[in-house]
């Protein structure tokens, strides 16, 4: 977690980590959408593995 929830300038680096603590083996997939303060989509990342 960052110390602040607001960044005035970019680029802003971030990391997504998933941990499977169950007994079922699954391959996570999905989409991460990054939006600006006004809700306009600025970037979209696909995870299909």
What six digits make up the tokens of 9?
């300038």
Q: Which of the four pLDDT bands, split at 50, 70 and 90, describes residue 4?
A: low
Q: What is the pLDDT of residues 12-22, one digit of tens each?
A: 787 888 788 88
From residue 44, alpha-carbon distances to 7, 16, 19, 22 in Å are 18, 14, 22, 29
* Residue 9, pLDDT above cutoff 60: yes
From residue 40, alpha-carbon distances to 5, 7, 33, 34, 47 in Å are 17, 16, 10, 9, 21
Angle at 30 (CA atoms; ends 46, 27), nearest 5 degrees: 110
Q: What is the pLDDT of residues 34-49, one digit of tens each?
A: 887 788 988 888 876 6
């Amino acid at each position: 977690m960052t110390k602040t929830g607001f960044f005035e300038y970019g680029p802003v680096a971030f990391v997504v980590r998933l941990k499977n603590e169950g007994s079922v083996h699954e391959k996570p997939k999905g989409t991460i959408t990054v939006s600006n303060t006004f809700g306009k989509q600025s970037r979209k990342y696909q995870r299909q593995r």
